[in-house]
Structure 1
């Protein structure tokens, strides 16, 4: 299953550069990468347009957002990562209190268009 989410960054070029550096290959702590894979997230990409981020996740049948959230809360490594990332991130204006990444809704699919 594909999940698409959005989040904003602090609108500061230096902060954005540091955020990107933290996401370079090998820069994300191994425990964080392991927690992603252990949740049956098969692939994950984060794309950026200025200060807006888009995350695309491909998940397997064992993925549960609730189980992932609970596992993240129980992991000191993931919590340390989340605190660090909040230095760079800011919620979308329409995000609910405490909501970080906001789920996006697909509105178009070429595959559903007539030939």
Structure 2
């Protein structure tokens, strides 16, 4: 089974926007086409956590998941593009993100299981 992938992104630091963003991610609020695009890409699990205005996402890929194929499918999907445009009203890049970069993959630097 592939290892989970971890990402971070910031929300605009505005309590009202943050509450609206959370509401968009409540059970049943995410459009069905978005959930389908995630599942159809071979993603077994996806969770987003919030601390202040910083988001952390855990993506659990299934066997055969291809991030590049997912990116191409997202770019070609009007549903995903509309969702991304809507979400960008709430999101902002991390201060050290590259131009155009949204979710930034985290680097794993510690694992207790690997310690002696």
Instruction: State the TM-score, normalizing by the size of structure 1.
Output: 0.97
Structure 1: runs of 5 or more not aligned: none
Q: Look up the match of 1:38.
A: 40
Matched, 1:107 2:103: no
Deviations 1:22-58 (A, max 9, x none): 0000100000000000111100100000000000011
1:15-26 matches, cutoff 5 A: 15-26=17-28
1:1-115 matches, cutoff 5 A: 1-114=3-116
Tell me, yes or no, if the aligned pair for 1:39 and 1:62 is still in contact at 8 Å: no
Q: How far does residue 61 in structure 1 lie from its aligned partner after superposition?
A: 2.1
Give the Cα separation in 1 of the matches to 2:64 and 2:85: 27
Structure 2: runs of 5 or more not aligned: none
C-alpha RMSD of the superposition: 0.6
Give the Cα separation in 1 of the matches to 2:64 and 2:80: 20
